[in-house]
Amino acid sequence: NGYYYSYWSKCIYSSRDFSDMVFIMNYNFNKDVYVQFNSTVGYHVGYTAYGVRNAEFWNNDTNNLQRYRAEVER
């Protein structure tokens, strides 16, 4: 239908001991990020009106937040 939805996640680090590793998960719609989770921040951040609503909903779910925060350790 001409719409493009995707998400990706990755860990970014710059040292060999992984002490500075950051887990990032982006949710994209038509190649624009509308929600991002960053383990340094510790919660979802919305970048559009739709993304802000989703981020608020997801941030209220403490089980999922804990799971995402633990991804950097896994």
What is the C-alpha separation between 39 and 66, in angstroms, rounded?
10
pLDDT at position 31 over 90: no
Count of structural domains within the chain: 1
Is residue 59 a part of any domain in this protein? yes
CATH code assigned at 27: 3.10.320.10
- Threshold 0.85, pTM exceeds: no
Is residue 69 a part of any domain in this protein? yes
Q: What does the DSSP 8-state code read for residue 72?
A: T
pLDDT in tens, 32-43: 999 999 988 999
What is the C-alpha separation between 26 and 5, in angstroms, rounded?
11
Is residue 30 a part of any domain in this protein? yes
Domain with 51 in it: 5-12+22-73
Is residue 35 a part of any domain in this protein? yes
Is residue 17 a part of any domain in this protein? no
Is residue 29 a part of any domain in this protein? yes
